[in-house]
Amino acid sequence: MNKLALFAVVMAVLTLSACNTVSGFGKDLEHLGGKIDKSSGK
C-alpha cells in the first residue's frame, strides 16, 4: 500500500510540475478532455 501511495504522489508532482501555472494546468485538463471526447466519438 505504501508503494502505491508513493507512486501516486510522484505522479502528481510530475504532472503538476509539467504545468507552469494553475491556468496552464486548466488548459492541459481541457485539452485532455477534448481528446477523451474525440476518442469516445462525440
Question: Against a cut of 0.75, is the pTM above it?
Answer: no
Domain total of the chain: 1
Which of 3, 25, 2 has the alpha carbon at shortest distance from 14?
A: 25
DSSP 19: -
Residue pair 3/11 in contact by the 8 Å Cβ criterion: no
pLDDT by residue for the chain (42 residues), tens only, comes to 688 888 888 888 777 766 566 667 778 888 888 887 777 775
pLDDT at 37: 79
Range of the domain at 10: 2-40
CA angle 35, 7, 38 (to 5 degrees): 5
pLDDT of residue 19: 57
pLDDT for the residue 8:
87
Instruction: Tell whether the torsion through CA atoms of 3, 8, 9 and 11 is positive or negative.
Output: positive
